[in-house]
């Protein structure tokens, strides 16, 4: 069974695009189409120093596109205040960092090959075309650790809205299965991570969880709104975003 925050998918190996070079041939080469240039030139070297110490769970491969489908969240002043208060509460024992784009995941992180992208996005939009807009409400804080045990997350757990999210996940699982990609977790705990730290700090954070929940509840009585309207999903493939609008 996969752990609840694993972002690693096994996937079938695919040959990378290789541009054959023959030095003995002096005739001019025809320029490659842009799509092939994109695939052949895409090469990323992992440098943890550029990612606050985070390490990739798997090496980047040319022609493979890191992808995720999620419910977006628009940050606001009260939300930022809540994060700052919890960061202060954890210091100096634990250095918590902000997640810049908090969201509710509807899939694991998965890999798409370049030539799959258009058909996959079309299939996802068609499948989710039956989904109506709805609201999600958070009901408390929870702590998660990734499978590699090298990062720990603080998240707001989803209370109201689970039924709609579950239905969406089921529809997306069918789309993923067509490409032999892993479905979402069997016993998914829907949540929105908003703070993280390096290492396995689950035990230390659980000791602080009662105090953090007091901060969370105090903000509920102020101006922090735990209800968010869900009008669209986002399919993120590489650095490109595709809007999936709900009815």
17 vs 59: which has the higher pLDDT: 59
pLDDT at res. 57:
52
Residue 51 among the catalytic residues: no
- Active-site position among 60, 103, 115, 182: 103
Residue 22 among the catalytic residues: no
- Active-site position among 60, 115, 182, 191: 191
User: What does the alpha-carbon distance between residue 111 and residue 133 come to, in Å, rounded to a whole number?
Assistant: 28
pTM score: 0.77
CATH number for the region 34-245 comes to 3.90.1140.10
pLDDT at res. 76:
84
12 vs 147: which has the higher pLDDT: 147
pLDDT class for 82, splitting at 50, 70, 90? very high
pLDDT class for 59, splitting at 50, 70, 90? low
Tell me how far apart the 2 most distant CA atoms of the chain are, in Å.
Answer: 75
Secondary structure class of 242 (helix, strand, coil): strand
pLDDT at res. 9:
35
Structure tokens at 165: 């999210």
Whether the per-residue pLDDT at 166 is higher than 60: the answer is: yes
Q: Choose among 200, 166, 164: nearest CA to 186.
A: 166
Q: Choose among 76, 115, 107: nearest CA to 235.
A: 107
pLDDT class for 10, splitting at 50, 70, 90? very low
The pLDDT tens digits of the residues spanning 103-134 come to 999 999 999 999 999 999 999 999 999 999 99
87 vs 12: which has the higher pLDDT: 87
Whether the per-residue pLDDT at 71 is higher than 90: the answer is: yes
């Amino acid at each position: 069974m996969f752990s609840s925050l694993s972002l690693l998918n096994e996937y079938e190996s695919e040959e990378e695009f290789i541009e054959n070079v023959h030095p003995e041939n002096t005739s001019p080469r025809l320029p490659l189409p842009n799509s092939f240039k994109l695939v052949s030139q895409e090469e990323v070297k992992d440098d943890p120093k550029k990612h606050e110490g985070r390490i990739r769970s798997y090496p980047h491969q040319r022609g493979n596109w890191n992808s995720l489908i999620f419910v977006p969240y628009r940050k606001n002043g009260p939300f930022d205040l809540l994060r700052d208060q919890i960061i202060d509460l954890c210091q100096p024992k634990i250095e918590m960092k902000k997640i810049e784009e908090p969201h509710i995941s509807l899939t694991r992180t998965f890999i798409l090959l370049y030539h799959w992208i258009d058909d996959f996005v079309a299939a996802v939009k068609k499948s989710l075309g039956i989904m109506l807009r709805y609201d999600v409400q958070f009901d408390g804080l929870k702590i998660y650790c990734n499978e590699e045990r090298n990062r720990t997350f603080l998240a707001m757990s989803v209370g109201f809205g689970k039924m709609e999210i579950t239905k969406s996940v089921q529809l997306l699982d069918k789309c993923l299965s067509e490409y032999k990609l892993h479905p979402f977790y069997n016993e998914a705990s829907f949540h929105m991570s908003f703070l993280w730290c390096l290492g396995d700090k689950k035990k230390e954070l659980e000791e602080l969880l009662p105090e953090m929940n007091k901060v969370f509840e105090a903000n509920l009585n102020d101006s922090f709104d735990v209800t968010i309207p869900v009008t669209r999903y986002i399919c993120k493939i590489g650095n490109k975003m595709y809007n999936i609008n709900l009815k």
